[in-house]
Amino acid sequence: MSELRRDIGLWRGIALNMIDMVGIGPFITIPLILAAMGGGRGMLAWILGGLLAISDGLVTAELSASIPGSGGSYVFLRHAYGPAGRLISFLFLFQILFSAPLSMASGCIGFANYLRVVLPAAGNHVALTATIVCVLTTALLLRRIEAIGKFSILLWAGVLATLAIVIGAGLPHLRLDAFAFWRAPRLDGGIGYAGLGVALIFAVYDYLGYYNICYIGDEVREPERTIPRVIVISILAIGVIYLVMNACLISVLPMKQAMVSPSIVADYLAVLLGTRAAQWISILILWTAFASIFSLMLGYSRILYAAARDGNFFRFFGKLHATEAYPYVSILFLGCVAAAFCSLSLKNVLQAILSIRAVIPFMAQIVGAVLLRQREPDRRRPFRMWLYPLPAIIALGLWGYIVTSPQKGLKAGGLYVMAAGSLFYLGRWWLEKRKRESL
Protein backbone atom coordinates (compact mmCIF):
# COMPACT_ATOMS: atom_id res chain seq x y z
CA MET A 1 0.00 0.00 0.00
CA SER A 2 1.67 3.25 -1.15
CA GLU A 3 -1.09 5.87 -0.95
CA LEU A 4 -3.03 7.44 1.89
CA ARG A 5 -6.80 6.87 1.91
CA ARG A 6 -9.41 9.64 1.77
CA ASP A 7 -11.62 8.50 4.64
CA ILE A 8 -12.11 11.82 6.51
CA GLY A 9 -15.29 13.79 5.73
CA LEU A 10 -16.74 16.99 7.18
CA TRP A 11 -17.93 15.64 10.54
CA ARG A 12 -14.90 13.50 11.22
CA GLY A 13 -12.73 16.49 10.31
CA ILE A 14 -14.63 18.77 12.69
CA ALA A 15 -14.30 16.12 15.38
CA LEU A 16 -10.52 15.88 14.95
CA ASN A 17 -10.13 19.67 14.95
CA MET A 18 -12.31 20.30 17.99
CA ILE A 19 -10.80 17.60 20.16
CA ASP A 20 -7.36 18.95 19.25
CA MET A 21 -8.36 22.52 20.15
CA VAL A 22 -10.00 21.73 23.50
CA GLY A 23 -7.85 19.07 25.10
CA ILE A 24 -6.76 19.77 28.65
CA GLY A 25 -5.81 23.38 27.81
CA PRO A 26 -8.74 25.47 29.09
CA PHE A 27 -9.11 23.31 32.20
CA ILE A 28 -5.59 24.18 33.37
CA THR A 29 -4.90 27.61 31.86
CA ILE A 30 -7.96 29.55 33.07
CA PRO A 31 -6.36 30.23 36.50
CA LEU A 32 -3.13 31.28 34.79
CA ILE A 33 -5.01 33.75 32.56
CA LEU A 34 -7.03 35.17 35.47
CA ALA A 35 -3.90 35.53 37.61
CA ALA A 36 -2.00 37.28 34.82
CA MET A 37 -4.80 39.86 34.43
CA GLY A 38 -5.61 40.20 38.13
CA GLY A 39 -9.12 38.75 37.80
CA GLY A 40 -12.03 39.14 35.40
CA ARG A 41 -10.09 41.21 32.90
CA GLY A 42 -8.72 37.87 31.72
CA MET A 43 -11.85 37.61 29.56
CA LEU A 44 -10.13 40.02 27.14
CA ALA A 45 -7.40 37.45 26.50
CA TRP A 46 -10.03 34.88 25.46
CA ILE A 47 -11.66 37.39 23.11
CA LEU A 48 -8.36 38.40 21.52
CA GLY A 49 -7.30 34.76 21.31
CA GLY A 50 -10.52 33.96 19.46
CA LEU A 51 -10.01 36.94 17.13
CA LEU A 52 -6.50 35.75 16.36
CA ALA A 53 -7.73 32.18 15.76
CA ILE A 54 -10.51 33.14 13.33
CA SER A 55 -8.30 35.66 11.49
CA ASP A 56 -5.42 33.24 11.13
CA GLY A 57 -7.89 30.45 10.43
CA LEU A 58 -9.29 32.34 7.42
CA VAL A 59 -5.76 32.73 6.07
CA THR A 60 -5.14 29.02 6.57
CA ALA A 61 -8.51 28.12 5.01
CA GLU A 62 -7.65 30.00 1.83
CA LEU A 63 -4.25 28.34 1.58
CA SER A 64 -5.65 24.88 2.28
CA ALA A 65 -8.32 25.26 -0.41
CA SER A 66 -5.87 26.43 -3.06
CA ILE A 67 -3.01 24.09 -2.07
CA PRO A 68 -4.64 20.97 -0.56
CA GLY A 69 -2.49 18.07 0.57
CA SER A 70 -0.96 16.46 3.64
CA GLY A 71 1.56 18.62 5.46
CA GLY A 72 -0.39 21.82 6.02
CA SER A 73 1.99 24.72 6.69
CA TYR A 74 4.90 22.80 5.17
CA VAL A 75 3.12 22.71 1.80
CA PHE A 76 1.87 26.31 2.09
CA LEU A 77 5.28 27.78 2.91
CA ARG A 78 7.03 25.81 0.20
CA HIS A 79 4.68 27.19 -2.47
CA ALA A 80 4.20 30.72 -1.16
CA TYR A 81 7.85 31.80 -0.98
CA GLY A 82 9.01 30.69 -4.41
CA PRO A 83 12.76 29.88 -4.48
CA ALA A 84 13.06 30.63 -0.76
CA GLY A 85 10.21 28.24 -0.04
CA ARG A 86 12.48 25.23 0.38
CA LEU A 87 14.43 26.93 3.17
CA ILE A 88 11.40 28.32 5.01
CA SER A 89 9.44 25.08 4.72
CA PHE A 90 12.51 23.19 5.94
CA LEU A 91 12.71 25.48 8.99
CA PHE A 92 9.08 24.65 9.68
CA LEU A 93 9.85 20.94 9.47
CA PHE A 94 12.89 21.33 11.69
CA GLN A 95 10.94 23.10 14.44
CA ILE A 96 8.23 20.42 14.20
CA LEU A 97 10.81 17.97 15.56
CA PHE A 98 10.68 20.00 18.79
CA SER A 99 7.31 21.78 18.89
CA ALA A 100 5.18 18.77 17.95
CA PRO A 101 6.48 16.53 20.77
CA LEU A 102 6.25 19.52 23.13
CA SER A 103 2.58 20.00 22.21
CA MET A 104 1.86 16.34 22.81
CA ALA A 105 3.82 16.37 26.06
CA SER A 106 1.77 19.37 27.28
CA GLY A 107 -1.40 17.32 26.89
CA CYS A 108 0.13 14.33 28.63
CA ILE A 109 1.43 16.43 31.54
CA GLY A 110 -1.92 18.20 31.85
CA PHE A 111 -3.65 14.82 31.89
CA ALA A 112 -1.34 13.59 34.65
CA ASN A 113 -1.87 16.76 36.71
CA TYR A 114 -5.65 16.55 36.45
CA LEU A 115 -5.64 12.87 37.34
CA ARG A 116 -4.96 14.00 40.91
CA VAL A 117 -8.64 14.90 41.26
CA VAL A 118 -9.61 11.26 40.68
CA LEU A 119 -6.49 9.56 42.05
CA PRO A 120 -4.69 11.85 44.54
CA ALA A 121 -1.69 9.51 44.68
CA ALA A 122 -1.03 10.21 40.98
CA GLY A 123 0.23 13.65 41.97
CA ASN A 124 3.45 12.00 43.14
CA HIS A 125 4.12 10.39 39.75
CA VAL A 126 3.25 13.07 37.18
CA ALA A 127 6.12 12.36 34.79
CA LEU A 128 5.54 8.60 34.84
CA THR A 129 1.80 8.96 34.29
CA ALA A 130 2.35 11.41 31.43
CA THR A 131 4.81 9.01 29.78
CA ILE A 132 2.36 6.10 30.02
CA VAL A 133 -0.37 8.20 28.40
CA CYS A 134 2.02 9.13 25.59
CA VAL A 135 2.95 5.49 24.94
CA LEU A 136 -0.71 4.41 24.92
CA THR A 137 -1.64 7.15 22.44
CA THR A 138 1.18 6.13 20.13
CA ALA A 139 -0.01 2.52 20.18
CA LEU A 140 -3.59 3.52 19.32
CA LEU A 141 -2.46 5.56 16.32
CA LEU A 142 -0.68 2.62 14.71
CA ARG A 143 -3.68 1.71 12.55
CA ARG A 144 -5.39 2.78 9.31
CA ILE A 145 -7.03 6.22 9.03
CA GLU A 146 -10.59 4.88 8.63
CA ALA A 147 -10.45 3.27 12.07
CA ILE A 148 -8.94 6.46 13.50
CA GLY A 149 -11.70 8.56 11.92
CA LYS A 150 -14.38 6.43 13.56
CA PHE A 151 -12.56 6.56 16.90
CA SER A 152 -12.33 10.36 16.62
CA ILE A 153 -16.14 10.59 16.54
CA LEU A 154 -16.27 8.64 19.82
CA LEU A 155 -13.64 10.91 21.36
CA TRP A 156 -15.50 13.98 20.08
CA ALA A 157 -18.69 12.78 21.75
CA GLY A 158 -16.81 12.65 25.05
CA VAL A 159 -15.43 16.17 24.50
CA LEU A 160 -18.90 17.58 23.76
CA ALA A 161 -20.39 15.79 26.76
CA THR A 162 -17.72 17.26 29.03
CA LEU A 163 -18.27 20.78 27.78
CA ALA A 164 -22.06 20.41 27.91
CA ILE A 165 -21.95 19.36 31.57
CA VAL A 166 -19.49 22.08 32.58
CA ILE A 167 -21.44 24.83 30.84
CA GLY A 168 -24.92 23.42 31.54
CA ALA A 169 -24.27 23.24 35.28
CA GLY A 170 -23.22 26.89 35.40
CA LEU A 171 -25.70 28.55 33.03
CA PRO A 172 -28.38 29.10 35.72
CA HIS A 173 -25.74 30.98 37.74
CA LEU A 174 -24.23 32.94 34.83
CA ARG A 175 -23.84 36.66 35.45
CA LEU A 176 -23.81 38.78 32.29
CA ASP A 177 -21.37 41.20 33.86
CA ALA A 178 -18.78 38.40 33.74
CA PHE A 179 -18.37 39.36 30.07
CA ALA A 180 -17.80 43.05 30.94
CA PHE A 181 -14.05 42.68 31.44
CA TRP A 182 -13.47 46.44 31.29
CA ARG A 183 -15.38 46.86 34.55
CA ALA A 184 -13.66 44.02 36.39
CA PRO A 185 -11.46 45.15 39.30
CA ARG A 186 -7.84 44.07 39.55
CA LEU A 187 -7.23 42.03 42.68
CA ASP A 188 -3.45 41.90 42.35
CA GLY A 189 -2.71 45.61 42.56
CA GLY A 190 -1.77 45.74 38.87
CA ILE A 191 -2.56 48.64 36.54
CA GLY A 192 -4.91 48.55 33.56
CA TYR A 193 -4.25 45.58 31.33
CA ALA A 194 -0.76 44.75 32.51
CA GLY A 195 -0.09 41.07 31.97
CA LEU A 196 -2.13 40.84 28.76
CA GLY A 197 0.87 39.47 26.87
CA VAL A 198 1.31 36.42 29.08
CA ALA A 199 -2.47 35.91 29.36
CA LEU A 200 -2.74 35.96 25.57
CA ILE A 201 0.02 33.36 25.27
CA PHE A 202 -2.02 30.93 27.39
CA ALA A 203 -5.30 31.79 25.64
CA VAL A 204 -3.80 31.30 22.18
CA TYR A 205 -2.41 27.94 23.28
CA ASP A 206 -5.99 26.87 24.05
CA TYR A 207 -7.16 27.79 20.54
CA LEU A 208 -4.28 26.07 18.74
CA GLY A 209 -5.36 23.13 16.63
CA TYR A 210 -7.72 24.86 14.19
CA TYR A 211 -5.24 24.03 11.41
CA ASN A 212 -4.95 20.34 12.32
CA ILE A 213 -7.20 19.21 9.47
CA CYS A 214 -4.69 20.68 6.98
CA TYR A 215 -2.04 18.21 8.08
CA ILE A 216 -4.04 15.25 6.78
CA GLY A 217 -5.22 16.85 3.52
CA ASP A 218 -4.48 13.74 1.45
CA GLU A 219 -6.86 11.78 3.68
CA VAL A 220 -9.79 14.23 3.43
CA ARG A 221 -12.64 13.87 0.96
CA GLU A 222 -13.06 16.92 -1.29
CA PRO A 223 -10.33 18.83 0.58
CA GLU A 224 -10.92 22.12 -1.29
CA ARG A 225 -14.42 22.34 0.21
CA THR A 226 -14.13 20.29 3.38
CA ILE A 227 -11.00 21.77 4.96
CA PRO A 228 -12.09 25.46 4.96
CA ARG A 229 -15.50 24.49 6.38
CA VAL A 230 -13.88 22.41 9.12
CA ILE A 231 -11.55 25.28 10.10
CA VAL A 232 -14.22 27.98 10.27
CA ILE A 233 -16.88 25.86 11.99
CA SER A 234 -14.52 24.49 14.64
CA ILE A 235 -13.06 27.94 15.51
CA LEU A 236 -16.46 29.62 15.84
CA ALA A 237 -17.84 26.76 17.93
CA ILE A 238 -14.84 26.61 20.25
CA GLY A 239 -14.73 30.41 20.62
CA VAL A 240 -18.31 30.54 21.88
CA ILE A 241 -17.74 27.57 24.19
CA TYR A 242 -14.62 29.10 25.76
CA LEU A 243 -16.22 32.47 26.43
CA VAL A 244 -19.36 30.99 27.98
CA MET A 245 -17.43 28.42 30.02
CA ASN A 246 -15.06 31.06 31.39
CA ALA A 247 -18.00 33.31 32.30
CA CYS A 248 -19.73 30.44 34.10
CA LEU A 249 -16.63 29.62 36.12
CA ILE A 250 -16.03 33.16 37.34
CA SER A 251 -19.75 33.59 38.05
CA VAL A 252 -19.68 30.67 40.50
CA LEU A 253 -16.22 30.61 42.11
CA PRO A 254 -14.82 33.47 44.18
CA MET A 255 -12.27 35.21 41.97
CA LYS A 256 -9.38 34.81 44.42
CA GLN A 257 -9.98 31.05 44.49
CA ALA A 258 -10.31 30.84 40.70
CA MET A 259 -6.97 32.62 40.24
CA VAL A 260 -4.98 30.01 42.15
CA SER A 261 -6.99 26.77 41.76
CA PRO A 262 -4.91 23.86 40.34
CA SER A 263 -8.13 22.12 39.22
CA ILE A 264 -10.57 24.97 38.67
CA VAL A 265 -13.26 23.01 36.84
CA ALA A 266 -13.36 20.32 39.54
CA ASP A 267 -13.65 23.03 42.22
CA TYR A 268 -16.42 24.72 40.24
CA LEU A 269 -18.37 21.49 39.78
CA ALA A 270 -17.90 20.58 43.44
CA VAL A 271 -19.66 23.83 44.41
CA LEU A 272 -22.54 23.18 42.02
CA LEU A 273 -22.93 19.39 42.07
CA GLY A 274 -20.93 18.10 45.02
CA THR A 275 -17.49 16.53 45.37
CA ARG A 276 -18.52 13.07 44.17
CA ALA A 277 -20.05 14.40 40.95
CA ALA A 278 -16.96 16.57 40.37
CA GLN A 279 -14.75 13.49 40.53
CA TRP A 280 -16.89 11.60 38.02
CA ILE A 281 -16.97 14.52 35.61
CA SER A 282 -13.20 14.86 35.98
CA ILE A 283 -12.99 11.50 34.23
CA LEU A 284 -14.64 13.13 31.21
CA ILE A 285 -12.10 15.94 31.41
CA LEU A 286 -9.35 13.34 31.26
CA TRP A 287 -11.12 11.80 28.26
CA THR A 288 -11.02 15.22 26.59
CA ALA A 289 -7.30 15.58 27.32
CA PHE A 290 -6.56 12.17 25.87
CA ALA A 291 -8.58 12.98 22.73
CA SER A 292 -6.48 16.08 22.12
CA ILE A 293 -3.18 14.20 22.44
CA PHE A 294 -4.51 11.61 20.00
CA SER A 295 -5.47 14.25 17.41
CA LEU A 296 -2.18 16.14 17.77
CA MET A 297 0.00 13.12 17.14
CA LEU A 298 -2.14 12.11 14.16
CA GLY A 299 -1.73 15.49 12.45
CA TYR A 300 1.96 16.00 13.09
CA SER A 301 2.89 12.51 11.91
CA ARG A 302 1.42 13.41 8.49
CA ILE A 303 3.58 16.53 8.20
CA LEU A 304 6.79 14.55 8.53
CA TYR A 305 5.43 11.94 6.12
CA ALA A 306 4.50 14.55 3.47
CA ALA A 307 7.91 16.24 3.64
CA ALA A 308 9.80 12.94 3.41
CA ARG A 309 7.63 11.86 0.48
CA ASP A 310 8.64 15.06 -1.35
CA GLY A 311 12.33 14.46 -0.67
CA ASN A 312 12.64 17.62 1.44
CA PHE A 313 13.30 15.87 4.75
CA PHE A 314 14.65 12.62 6.14
CA ARG A 315 13.33 9.91 3.85
CA PHE A 316 12.66 7.34 6.57
CA PHE A 317 9.70 9.48 7.75
CA GLY A 318 8.00 8.67 4.44
CA LYS A 319 7.61 4.97 5.14
CA LEU A 320 4.04 3.63 5.23
CA HIS A 321 2.78 0.43 6.79
CA ALA A 322 2.65 -2.24 4.09
CA THR A 323 -1.06 -3.09 4.46
CA GLU A 324 -2.71 -0.42 6.65
CA ALA A 325 -1.15 2.66 4.97
CA TYR A 326 -0.18 4.78 7.96
CA PRO A 327 3.23 6.52 8.48
CA TYR A 328 4.49 4.34 11.29
CA VAL A 329 8.01 5.80 11.48
CA SER A 330 6.68 9.35 11.99
CA ILE A 331 4.24 8.18 14.66
CA LEU A 332 6.87 6.24 16.58
CA PHE A 333 9.40 9.09 16.41
CA LEU A 334 6.95 11.67 17.73
CA GLY A 335 5.76 9.33 20.46
CA CYS A 336 9.28 8.63 21.70
CA VAL A 337 10.40 12.28 21.76
CA ALA A 338 7.15 13.39 23.40
CA ALA A 339 7.65 10.77 26.09
CA ALA A 340 11.09 12.25 26.80
CA PHE A 341 9.59 15.76 27.14
CA CYS A 342 7.03 14.52 29.67
CA SER A 343 9.58 15.11 32.43
CA LEU A 344 9.49 18.91 31.92
CA SER A 345 7.24 21.33 33.83
CA LEU A 346 3.94 22.26 32.17
CA LYS A 347 4.60 26.02 32.25
CA ASN A 348 7.96 25.65 30.52
CA VAL A 349 6.44 23.40 27.88
CA LEU A 350 3.63 25.86 27.09
CA GLN A 351 6.02 28.79 26.74
CA ALA A 352 8.39 26.76 24.58
CA ILE A 353 5.63 25.79 22.14
CA LEU A 354 4.68 29.36 21.22
CA SER A 355 8.28 30.56 21.40
CA ILE A 356 9.29 28.07 18.72
CA ARG A 357 6.21 28.41 16.49
CA ALA A 358 5.27 32.12 16.60
CA VAL A 359 7.43 33.24 13.65
CA ILE A 360 7.52 29.98 11.69
CA PRO A 361 4.98 28.90 10.71
CA PHE A 362 2.36 31.39 11.92
CA MET A 363 3.72 34.82 10.96
CA ALA A 364 5.58 33.47 7.93
CA GLN A 365 2.43 31.75 6.69
CA ILE A 366 0.36 34.96 6.86
CA VAL A 367 2.96 36.90 4.89
CA GLY A 368 3.19 33.97 2.47
CA ALA A 369 -0.56 34.02 1.79
CA VAL A 370 -0.38 37.71 0.82
CA LEU A 371 2.69 37.12 -1.37
CA LEU A 372 0.93 34.24 -3.11
CA ARG A 373 -2.04 36.48 -3.87
CA GLN A 374 0.27 39.02 -5.48
CA ARG A 375 2.46 36.55 -7.36
CA GLU A 376 -0.29 34.20 -8.54
CA PRO A 377 -3.53 36.22 -8.76
CA ASP A 378 -5.05 33.70 -11.19
CA ARG A 379 -4.46 30.67 -8.99
CA ARG A 380 -7.70 28.76 -8.35
CA ARG A 381 -8.99 29.60 -4.84
CA PRO A 382 -12.18 27.67 -4.00
CA PHE A 383 -12.22 29.57 -0.67
CA ARG A 384 -11.09 33.18 -0.25
CA MET A 385 -10.51 34.75 3.14
CA TRP A 386 -13.35 37.04 4.07
CA LEU A 387 -12.68 40.82 4.01
CA TYR A 388 -9.19 40.37 2.56
CA PRO A 389 -6.65 41.62 3.65
CA LEU A 390 -8.14 42.46 7.07
CA PRO A 391 -7.83 38.92 8.57
CA ALA A 392 -4.16 38.79 7.56
CA ILE A 393 -3.47 42.22 9.10
CA ILE A 394 -5.25 41.34 12.37
CA ALA A 395 -3.55 37.95 12.69
CA LEU A 396 -0.10 39.35 11.91
CA GLY A 397 -0.61 42.21 14.37
CA LEU A 398 -1.69 39.94 17.23
CA TRP A 399 1.12 37.45 16.60
CA GLY A 400 3.51 40.40 16.53
CA TYR A 401 2.17 41.59 19.87
CA ILE A 402 2.71 38.16 21.42
CA VAL A 403 6.28 38.04 20.11
CA THR A 404 7.21 41.56 21.26
CA SER A 405 5.09 41.92 24.43
CA PRO A 406 6.87 42.39 27.81
CA GLN A 407 6.15 38.68 28.48
CA LYS A 408 7.62 37.75 25.11
CA GLY A 409 6.32 34.72 23.27
CA LEU A 410 9.62 34.59 21.36
CA LYS A 411 12.43 33.52 23.64
CA ALA A 412 16.00 32.44 23.07
CA GLY A 413 15.00 28.81 22.64
CA GLY A 414 12.87 29.64 19.61
CA LEU A 415 15.72 31.60 18.02
CA TYR A 416 18.15 28.74 18.69
CA VAL A 417 15.85 26.29 16.91
CA MET A 418 15.57 28.56 13.85
CA ALA A 419 19.34 29.15 13.80
CA ALA A 420 20.07 25.43 14.11
CA GLY A 421 17.58 24.65 11.35
CA SER A 422 19.21 27.22 9.05
CA LEU A 423 22.66 25.75 9.64
CA PHE A 424 21.35 22.24 9.10
CA TYR A 425 19.69 23.29 5.83
CA LEU A 426 22.85 24.99 4.55
CA GLY A 427 24.95 21.97 5.46
CA ARG A 428 22.53 19.66 3.68
CA TRP A 429 22.50 21.94 0.60
CA TRP A 430 26.31 22.02 0.51
CA LEU A 431 26.56 18.24 0.71
CA GLU A 432 24.01 17.79 -2.08
CA LYS A 433 25.88 20.32 -4.21
CA ARG A 434 29.19 18.48 -3.70
CA LYS A 435 27.47 15.23 -4.59
CA ARG A 436 26.10 16.66 -7.85
CA GLU A 437 29.50 18.13 -8.79
CA SER A 438 31.21 14.78 -8.25
CA LEU A 439 28.90 13.00 -10.69
Query: Region 103-117: what's the mean pLDDT?
Result: 84
Decide if 131 contacts 257 (C-beta within 8 A): no
**Element of type H or E holding 300:** helix 275-309
pLDDT at 317: 83
Is residue 212's pLDDT more than 90? no
**% the chain with pLDDT above 70:** 93
pLDDT at 119: 82
- CA pair distance 380, 376, nearest whole angstrom: 9
Is residue 251's pLDDT more than 50? yes
Category of 274 on φ-ψ map: left (φ > 0), alpha (ψ -120 to 50) or beta: left
Q: How far are the Cα atoms of 48, 84, 88, 109, 381 from residue 377, in angstroms, in the given order? A: 31, 19, 22, 45, 9
Is residue 206's pLDDT more than 60? yes
Total-model pTM: 0.83
Q: How far are the Cα atoms of 38, 40, 159, 405 from residue 189, in angstroms, in the given order? A: 8, 13, 37, 20
Q: Among 87-101, 148-162, 170-184, 324-338, which stretch is predicted with the lowest mean pLDDT?
A: 148-162
Is residue 2's pLDDT more than 50? no
- CA pair distance 68, 293, nearest whole angstrom: 24
Domains of the chain: 10-428 (1.20.1740.10)
pLDDT at 252: 95
pLDDT at 1: 38
Decide if 114 contacts 289 (C-beta within 8 A): yes
Is residue 38's pLDDT more than 90? yes
Residue in 250, 254, 242, 204 with CA at minimum distance from that of residue 41? 250
Query: Region 143-147: what's the mean pLDDT?
Result: 63
Q: How far are the Cα atoms of 224, 225, 228, 304, 343 from residue 381, in angstroms, in the given order? A: 9, 10, 11, 26, 44
Q: Which residue has the higher pLDDT, 356 or 228?
A: 228
Query: Residue 393 — very low, low, confident or very high, per pLDDT cuts 50/70/90?
Result: very high
Q: Which residues, other chains included, contact 94 with Cβ-Cβ below 8 Å and sequence gap of 6+?
A: 417, 420, 421, 424, 425
Peptide bond into 389 cis (omega under 30): yes
- CA pair distance 305, 205, nearest whole angstrom: 25
pLDDT at 144: 66
Residue type, 29: T
Average pLDDT, the chain: 84
Over residues 321-356, the pLDDT tens digits come to 777 677 888 889 999 999 998 888 777 777 777 777
pLDDT at 145: 60
